[in-house]
C-alpha cells in the first residue's frame, strides 16, 4: 500500500537514471508500471532491451507489477503502442511521466542540423506524442461519461528555463516542454487531467560530464547524497497520486532535498507612447527599461 496504490503509470526513458528511480518509487507506492526505454546511448544512438527489462525484474522482485516497452516515444505510432501497452496490460492508464531524453551538446557556431533535430525530436516530439495518445484515451472516457483522475508529468530542465551554454538545442526543447505543460494544463482540466513538470538536477550519465556539480565528496553509504537521482522521484510520485489533483500547470525545481516552484516569464518594466514608436526614439527608452528589469536567473534559478 502507498499513495499510488492501484494506479497505472507509464514512464518514458525509465531504464536508467532519474526515470528508473521514478519507476521503482511508483512501484514501491503501489502503482503498476510500464517501463519504457530504448536502451540507447546518451546521444540517442543504439538500443538495448536490457535496461527496461532489468527495472521490470527489480520491481517484480519487490512484489510489484510491471511490464517493459521498447517503443521509440518520438515515433507517433510507437508512442501509441506504448499507451496501448498500459491499457492492454493493466486495463487503463492513470499517469504518464514524460522523462525520455538525449544530449548532443555543442556550441551554436558548431552545431549541425542533425544534432539540433535529434534533440528536438526526442524531447519535444517525444513529449507530445505519448501525451497526445494518452489524452485522446482520457477524452474518450470523459465523453463516455466516465471520470478521470489522470496526470501528465513532464521533464523540463534548468537549462531550458534558465539557460546553459552549449545547449541551445537541449535548452530550446526543454523550454518548449515547460510551455507545453502550462498550455496543456489549461486545455485538459475539463477531462480530469492535470499537467505539471519538473526541472530536476541530479548526477546521472547524462549530466556527469556537464560540470556545474563540482567533485562529489566522499560519503558513507548511509549519508544523504544531494546529487542522487533517487531524490527526484518522491515529488514525481506525489504529483502522480490522487493527492495532487488541485495542482496543475506548474513547473517545479527539484534537487536533493530542495523543492521550489519555478515562476515563469512576467511583464517587467514598460513604457507607452500613445502612438507608434520611431526607432530613433528607442535608444532613450529600451536601455532604461532593461536597467530597471530584474536580471535573468542563473542555472540555480536565482538572480544574482
What CA–CA distance (Å, rounded) separates 47 from 73?
13
DSSP string, 46-98: ---SHHHHHHHHHHHHTT--EEEE---TTSHHHHHHHHHHHHHHHS---EEE-
Nearest to 237 by CA among 14, 62, 24, 64: 24
Looking at the structure, tell me whether residues 32 and 66 fall in a common domain: yes
The answer to whether residue 139 is domain-embedded is yes
CATH number at residue 160: 3.40.50.720
Of 32, 74, 137, 170, the catalytic one is: 170
- Does residue 1 sit within a domain? no
HSE-CB for 228 with a 13 A CA cutoff: 14
239 and 154 belong to one structural domain: yes
Tell me the pLDDT tens digit for each residue of 127-162: 999 999 999 999 999 999 999 999 999 999 999 999
Considering the domain architecture, whether residues 273 and 227 belong to the same structural domain is answered as no
User: What average pLDDT does the structure give for the chain?
Assistant: 92
Same domain, 190 and 288: no
Determine, yes or no, domain membership for 256. Answer: yes
Choice between 239 and 40, residue whose per-residue pLDDT is larger: 239
Q: With 80 as the cut, is the pLDDT of residue 206 above it?
A: no
If one counts every other C-beta atom within 10 angstroms of the C-beta of residue 215, the result is 5
Together in a domain, 173 and 279: no
Confidence category of residue 44, pLDDT binned at 50, 70, 90:
very low
Say if 249 falls within a structural domain.
Answer: yes
Task: Based on the fold, state whether residues 292 and 245 are members of the same structural domain.
Answer: no
Is 143 an active-site residue?
no
Which residue in the list 14, 74, 157, 244 is annotated as catalytic? 157
Residue 7 pLDDT exceeds 60? yes
Residue in 180, 130, 151 with CA at minimum distance from that of residue 12: 130
Please state the pTM of the whole predicted model. Answer: 0.90
Instruction: Give me the number of domains the chain comprises.
Output: 2
pLDDT confidence band for 121 (50 / 70 / 90): very high
Query: Rounded to 5 degrees, what are φ and ψ at 262?
Result: -75, 130
- Clarify whether 162 is annotated catalytic: no
In a domain, 2, yes or no: no
Is residue 99 assigned to a domain? yes
| pLDDT classification of 303: cutoffs 50, 70, 90 | confident
In percent, the amount of the chain with pLDDT more than 70 equals: 91
> Whose CA is closest to 199, among 250, 237, 132, 267?
250
99 and 189 share one domain: yes
Options 14, 74, 162, 174, the catalytic residue: 174
Which three cell numbers mark 58?
527489480
Report how far apart, in Å, the C-alpha atoms of 37 and of each of 23, 40, 283 are: 11, 8, 52
Write out the residue range of the structural domain in which residue 146 sits: 8-262
Amino acid at each position: 500500500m502507498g499513495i499510488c496504490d492501484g494506479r497505472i503509470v507509464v514512464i518514458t526513458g525509465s531504464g536508467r537514471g532519474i526515470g528508473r528511480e521514478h519507476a521503482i518509487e511508483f512501484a514501491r507506492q503501489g502503482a503498476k508500471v510500464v517501463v519504457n526505454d530504448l536502451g540507447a546511448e546518451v546521444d540517442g544512438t543504439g538500443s538495448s532491451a536490457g535496461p527496461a527489462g532489468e527495472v521490470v525484474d527489480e520491481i517484480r522482485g519487490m512484489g510489484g507489477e510491471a511490464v517493459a516497452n521498447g517503443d521509440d516515444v518520438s515515433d507517433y505510432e510507437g508512442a501509441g503502442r506504448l499507451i496501448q501497452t498500459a491499457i492492454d496490460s493493466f486495463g487503463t492508464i492513470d499517469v504518464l511521466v514524460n522523462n525520455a531524453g538525449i544530449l548532443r551538446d555543442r556550441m551554436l557556431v558548431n552545431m549541425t542540423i542533425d544534432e539540433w533535430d535529434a534533440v528536438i525530436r526526442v524531447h519535444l516530439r517525444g513529449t507530445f506524442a505519448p501525451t497526445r495518445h494518452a489524452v485522446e484515451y482520457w477524452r474518450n472516457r470523459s465523453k463516455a461519461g466516465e471520470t478521470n483522475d489522470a496526470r501528465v508529468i513532464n521533464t523540463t530542465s534548468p537549462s531550458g528555463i534558465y539557460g546553459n551554454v552549449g545547449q541551445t538545442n537541449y535548452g530550446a526543447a526543454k523550454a518548449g516542454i515547460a510551455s507545453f505543460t502550462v498550455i496543456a494544463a489549461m486545455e485538459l482540466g475539463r477531462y480530469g487531467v492535470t499537467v505539471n513538470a519538473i526541472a530536476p538536477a541530479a548526477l546521472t550519465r547524462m549530466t556527469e560530464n556537464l560540470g556545474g556539480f563540482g567533485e562529489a565528496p566522499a560519503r558513507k553509504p548511509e549519508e544523504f547524497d544531494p546529487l542522487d537521482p533517487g531524490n527526484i522521484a518522491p515529488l514525481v510520485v506525489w504529483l502522480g497520486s490522487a493527492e495532487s489533483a488541485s495542482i496543475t500547470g506548474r513547473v517545479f525545481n527539484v534537487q536533493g532535498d530542495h523543492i521550489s516552484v519555478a515562476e515563469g516569464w512576467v511583464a517587467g518594466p514598460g513604457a507607452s507612447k500613445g502612438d507608434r514608436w520611431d526607432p530613433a526614439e528607442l535608444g532613450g527608452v529600451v536601455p532604461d527599461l532593461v536597467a530597471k528589469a530584474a536580471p535573468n536567473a542563473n542555472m540555480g534559478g536565482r538572480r544574482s
